[in-house]
Amino acid sequence: MTGPGPGSEPRTGERSREPRSGARPSEPRPDGRRRARVTEARAPERADVPWSTANAGLIRWATWIALAVIAIRLIAPRPDGWRRWGDAAAALNDAEQARTAALLYYQAAQRQWPPPGRAGVVPPGMLAFLPGDVSFARARYRLAWEYAADTVTGARVIGISVTGDDPKLAEAMAQRAPEGMPFIVSGRRFVVLIASASGR
């Protein structure tokens, strides 16, 4: 039985040994192992990325937070500043109430002012005109009835003075004083004026 000759074509039904169109024998099929090998190949590339580049977003947020904290510390007053502002508001309220009490005393005493007093002590006769929540002796400041005359010119200043333990309390009171309140600041002393008279 003679087989096909050298120039004969393969029989019908024989598998061709030529690769199919589009197939690449040298590449593995896209299965699970192929994906794992790709992942392992890219890992060294991510490891080569600088830390600052990989965490740029985190660094940006940390920088903004640090700047915000610094700004708050620069703008917001310190705890002693908060207490000073609170004492200034309370002292202004006490001084205004004491000023009103002195005016009521003046009207009731037939145009006579209370006699001079000491710091932290209510002048005699004025206590009856003071509200119950007003005190001349607070923990960090004291009120005094001012009724003194200059020994040279005879000028007299009448008012309520406030002297605090904080050397900057008078300055804070001047900044927080309501519009229309007459006052003077002399060193650590803040004086709410009631009246003044020139001397000789």
Q: Is the pLDDT of residue 45 over 70?
A: no
* pLDDT at residue 179 tops 80: yes
- Evaluate whether residue 45 is within a structural domain: no
Does 28 map to a domain?
no
pLDDT digits (tens, 9 = 90+) for 47-66: 577 776 777 778 888 888 88
In a domain, 144, yes or no: yes
Residue 159 lies in a domain: yes
In a domain, 140, yes or no: yes
Backbone angles phi, psi at 191, to 5 degrees: -120, 120
- Average confidence (pLDDT) over 170-180: 94
pLDDT-based confidence at residue 181 (cuts at 50, 70, 90): very high
Residue 161 in any domain: the answer is yes
Sign of the Cα torsion 68, 73, 79, 83 reads negative
Range of the domain at 166: 79-197
Residue 4 has pLDDT above 60, yes or no: no
Q: What is the pLDDT of residue 39?
A: 47
Q: Yes or no: say if 150 and 196 are a contact pair by the CB < 8 Å rule.
A: no
pLDDT at site 23: 47
Tokens of 170: 């008078």
| pLDDT tens readout for residues 77-135 | 555 678 999 999 999 999 999 999 999 999 999 888 888 888 999 998 899 999 988 99
H/E segment holding residue 41:
helix 32-47
Q: What is the DSSP string of 175-188?
A: HHPPTT--EEEETT
Q: Is residue 43 part of a domain?
A: no
Residue 108 forms part of a structural domain? yes
Question: How many helical (H) and strand (E) elements, i.e. helices and strands, does the chain have?
Answer: 5, 4
Domain total of the chain: 1
- Cα–Cα dist 77/84, whole Å: 10
Q: Which amino acid is at 53?
A: T
CA–chain centroid gap for 175, Å, is 19
